[in-house]
Amino acid sequence: MQYTGVLKKMNTELLDTVQYYLDMNTDFINVNQLLNKTIEMSFVTYECLSCGLEKEIYRQGFCRSCFFETPSAGDWIMRPELSKAHLGEEDRDLEYEKKVQLQPHIVYLANSSNVKVGVTRKTQVPTRWIDQGAHEAIEIVEVPNRYLAGITEVALKEHVADKTNWRKMLKNDIEDEDLTKWQERLKSFIPEEAKEYFIENNKETEIKFPVEQYPEKPKSLNIKKEGSYTGKLVGIKGQYFIFEDNTVFNVRANEGLVVNIKVKS
Ligand SMILES: [Zn+2]
């Protein structure tokens, strides 16, 4: 079997164990079924996720010009506190920004290698947590727009991490934390404007990933540079493929690359 298509982050489903799906143009692959199989992956070319042209990918699956022009790559994506649609102010395309920013957002705590705070649209729970490789997470504040979520995150960042250590996450070098206790501890640091949106009596979500063998020393595969790679898939966590020889491949960081995947045995 072989598939060719442009890489986009894997779709996921939170069942007993997370199910992963890779959309490869004409085929929709359940990646869990490739576990314990040897896979050959080769770099073919580029395909920008916005304009669809064969142009080198700059960031987030976009070519350079799309990255600086498309409404879905505005600065407020990575820095929610810069959101301005609630004021009726345009960044790149006000209609688009209203649609995305003026909807319920969640400020959460997720534990992937350490406890961190993050922001996501409510519709992206628990997808966002799975993408980060969090084994546990909890919603702490639900606000009506992205701006309020952004300023809450900025305030809480003073007291809790906002980044994941991907090596620790992949090695499963993790500790269980009581996230409801963290939530109580952080409550008083929530900004005035968002205090009324604090979620009381919430429970942690536990997430189990399909990993049979964790890498001891994860080394990241650069498929553009290597051209091709062959290895046995032994796990999937976050948006990473984990191979038997400690090689890991971040699907999300390679969005916009066209690859060929051959399932060998
Ligand atoms: Zn483009």
- The pLDDT tens digits for 19-53 are 999 999 889 999 999 999 999 999 999 999 999 99
pLDDT tens-digit readout, 157-216: 999 999 989 999 999 999 999 999 999 999 999 999 999 999 998 899 999 999 999 999
pLDDT tens-digit readout, 96-125: 999 999 999 999 999 999 999 999 999 999
Tell me how far the alpha carbon of residue 255 lies from the centroid of ligand 1, in angstroms: 12
Tell me how far the alpha carbon of residue 97 lies from the centroid of ligand 1, in angstroms: 19
Tell me how far the alpha carbon of residue 65 lies from the centroid of ligand 1, in angstroms: 6
Tell me how far the alpha carbon of residue 224 lies from the centroid of ligand 1, in angstroms: 18
Tell me how far the alpha carbon of residue 135 lies from the centroid of ligand 1, in angstroms: 35
Tell me how far the alpha carbon of residue 57 lies from the centroid of ligand 1, in angstroms: 8
Q: How far apart, in whole angstroms, are the C-alpha atoms of residue 76 and residue 62?
A: 16
pLDDT of residue 218: 97
Q: How far apart, in whole angstroms, are the C-alpha atoms of residue 37 and residue 212?
A: 12
The Cα diameter of the chain in Å comes to 58
Check: CB of residue 59 under 8 Å from CB of residue 69: no
Tell me how far the alpha carbon of residue 46 lies from the centroid of ligand 1, in angstroms: 10
Tell me how far the alpha carbon of residue 154 lies from the centroid of ligand 1, in angstroms: 31
Tell me how far the alpha carbon of residue 55 lies from the centroid of ligand 1, in angstroms: 7
Q: What share of the chain is helix, strand, coil (3-state, %, to 5)?
A: 30, 30, 40
Mean pLDDT, the chain, integer: 96
pLDDT tens-digit readout, 213-247: 999 999 999 999 999 999 999 999 999 999 999 99
Tell me how far the alpha carbon of residue 124 lies from the centroid of ligand 1, in angstroms: 25
Tell me how far the alpha carbon of residue 68 lies from the centroid of ligand 1, in angstroms: 10
pLDDT of residue 265: 80
Tell me how far the alpha carbon of residue 50 lies from the centroid of ligand 1, in angstroms: 5
5: Cβ contacts below 8 Å, ≥ 6 apart: 23, 24, 25, 26, 27, 258, 259
Tell me how far the alpha carbon of residue 73 lies from the centroid of ligand 1, in angstroms: 11
pTM of the model: 0.94
Q: How far apart, in whole angstroms, are the C-alpha atoms of residue 66 and residue 48?
A: 8
Q: How far apart, in whole angstroms, are the C-alpha atoms of residue 19 and residue 231?
A: 21
